[in-house]
């Protein structure tokens, strides 16, 4: 548990030192605005009640003290108002917004095969500790299998809703299909599908995707998963100029089915970074890439970088390959992993669903909070 080793008032704010060696100067205005008392923050909704914009300019504290062995900071303001802060909450505020704490471990085929992420269906459905482990494996590796799942629609839905509600898209919510061309997408054929992420034509691409093959009376059809974060690491190390342009050029994606009145379009960089420079999303689907043009020199550089990314995505040493069979459900991060499928002949029935990024992360965040509260 985080604790504070030092707190000192300065002209600009409160200078804090944490037990792990970090220091940070929190301004007086920030601390007053983030007071957690019941007057300033609703105790049930946790919404701010304080009128931030009514605070006086140049506010400062009149007294401060550390308590509970450095786990609490108490401030008193000139008007007599008192604010208390948990060291954990202050430390949490220094992280990029919404960032969870599992270490992301990128991988290639040999590495992931040696430390394969999986849990059992029965344990997942019965134990929240296993659910937390399951979501942490997905956060760390980008995917996790649930083995021993009954090959039924109900069991497949149960795995998804054990985490959160299913997202509805133009393909419906839970989907269960064969190569029937129900939608204008190559997933609804028996053709090979190259490495890609889903939803490049959506402003908010699905955060997670789930597959369960309910029947496989066919030959071929091997599924492929690639850690695109590892590809990004390679490009950033070996060809930083190509990595950089993939963070800058917004690539348009589209989905067209005019008979159903659908023409979706969105655009974002293949590699999307947050304000700290951390890679947060990969969007790559050459099947759905819409026409766009740049100034010739920049277009040539982009095409070189795009081709480099595609070459690495098709490098067998970076691909985890497995033929999905009944009983094995995979949930994977669609903002991180590319997926593909070899062509097949015969009958194959695939089921699955999309889950929202924020809802999956919410589930893990609450599970961690409950565990911390039980341990306290």
The residue among 180, 191, 226 whose CA lies nearest residue 321 is: 226
SS3 13: strand
User: How far is residue 141's CA from residue 135's CA, in Å, rounded to a whole number?
Assistant: 10
Say what the pLDDT of residue 37 is. Answer: 95
Burial class (CB in 10 A: 0-12, 13-18, 19+), 323: middle
Kindly list the distances between the CA atom of residue 105 and the CA atoms of 95, 100, 228, in Å, as whole numbers in the listed order: 19, 14, 12
DSSP string, 257-308: EGGGTEEEEEEEESEEE-TTS-EEEE---TTTBPP----HHHHHHHHHHHHH
User: How far is residue 233's CA from residue 312's CA, in Å, rounded to a whole number?
Assistant: 11
User: How far is residue 255's CA from residue 261's CA, in Å, rounded to a whole number?
Assistant: 11
250-253: long-range contacts at Cβ-Cβ below 8 A with a sequence spacing of 24 or more?
A: 251/200, 251/283, 251/289, 251/292, 251/306, 252/289, 252/290, 252/291, 252/292, 253/199, 253/200, 253/201, 253/283, 253/285, 253/288, 253/289, 253/290
Q: Is 96 left (phi over 0), alpha (psi -120 to 50) or beta?
A: beta
Tracing tokens 């900071």 back to the chain, one arrives at 73
Domains within the chain, CATH numbers bracketed: 4-94 (3.30.2020.30), 109-366 (3.60.130.10)
Give me 64's structure tokens.
């401060």
User: How far is residue 84's CA from residue 74's CA, in Å, rounded to a whole number?
Assistant: 4
The residue among 244, 199, 229 whose CA lies nearest residue 355 is: 199
Say what the pLDDT of residue 100 is. Answer: 63
Q: Is 74 left (phi over 0), alpha (psi -120 to 50) or beta?
A: beta
Give me 10's structure tokens.
């300065």
Backbone angles phi, psi at 115, to 5 degrees: -140, 65
pTM assigned to the model: 0.88
Computed on alpha carbons and rounded to an integer, the radius of gyration of the chain in Å comes to 24
Tens place of pLDDT for every residue, the chain, 376 residues? Answer: 789 999 999 999 999 999 999 999 999 999 999 999 999 999 999 999 999 999 999 999 999 999 999 999 999 999 999 999 999 999 989 876 655 656 799 999 999 999 999 999 999 999 999 999 999 999 999 999 999 999 999 999 999 999 999 999 999 999 998 766 554 556 667 788 999 999 999 999 999 999 999 998 888 889 999 999 999 999 999 999 999 999 999 999 999 999 999 999 999 999 999 988 999 999 999 999 999 999 999 999 999 999 999 999 999 999 999 999 999 999 999 999 999 999 988 998 999 999 999 999 999 999 998 998 888 6
Give me 345's structure tokens.
């002949």
CA 181 to chain centre: 30
């Amino acid at each position: 548990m985080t604790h504070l080793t030092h707190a000192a008032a300065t002209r600009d704010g409160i200078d804090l030192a944490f037990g792990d060696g970090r220091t940070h100067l929190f301004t007086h205005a920030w601390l007053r605005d983030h007071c957690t008392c019941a007057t300033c923050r609703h105790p049930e909704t946790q919404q701010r009640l304080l009128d931030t914009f009514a605070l006086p300019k140049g506010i400062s504290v009149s007294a401060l003290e550390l308590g509970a062995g450095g786990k609490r900071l108490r401030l008193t303001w000139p008007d007599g108002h008192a604010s208390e802060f948990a060291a954990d909450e202050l430390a949490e505020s220094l992280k990029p917004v919404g960032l969870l704490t599992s270490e992301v471990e990128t991988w290639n085929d040999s590495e992931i095969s040696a430390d394969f992420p999986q849990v059992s269906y029965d344990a997942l459905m019965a134990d929240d500790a296993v659910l937390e482990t399951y979501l942490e494996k997905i956060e760390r590796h980008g995917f996790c299998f649930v083995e021993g799942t009954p090959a039924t629609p109900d069991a497949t839905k149960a795995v998804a809703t054990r985490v959160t509600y299913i997202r509805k898209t133009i393909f419906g919510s839970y989907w269960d299909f064969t190569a029937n061309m129900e939608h204008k997408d190559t997933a609804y054929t028996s053709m090979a599908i190259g490495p890609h992420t889903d939803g490049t034509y959506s402003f908010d691409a699905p955060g997670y995707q789930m597959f369960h093959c309910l029947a496989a009376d066919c030959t071929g059809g091997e599924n492929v998963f690639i850690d695109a974060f590892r590809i990004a690491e390679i490009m950033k190390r070996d060809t930083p100029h190509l990595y950089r342009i993939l963070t800058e050029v917004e690539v348009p994606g589209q989905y067209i089915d005019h008979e159903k009145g659908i023409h979706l379009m969105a655009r974002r960089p293949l590699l999307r970074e947050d304000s700290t420079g951390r890679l947060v999303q990969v969007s790559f689907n050459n099947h759905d890439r819409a026409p766009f043009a740049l100034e010739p020199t920049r277009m040539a550089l982009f095409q070189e970088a795009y081709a480099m990314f595609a070459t690495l995505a098709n490098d067998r040493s970076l691909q985890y390959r497995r033929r999905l069979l009944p009983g094995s459900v995979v949930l994977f991060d669609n903002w991180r992993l590319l997926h593909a499928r070899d062509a097949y002949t015969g009958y194959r029935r695939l089921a699955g669903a999309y889950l929202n990024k924020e809802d999956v992360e919410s589930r893990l965040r609450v599970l961690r909070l409950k565990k911390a509260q039980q341990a306290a």
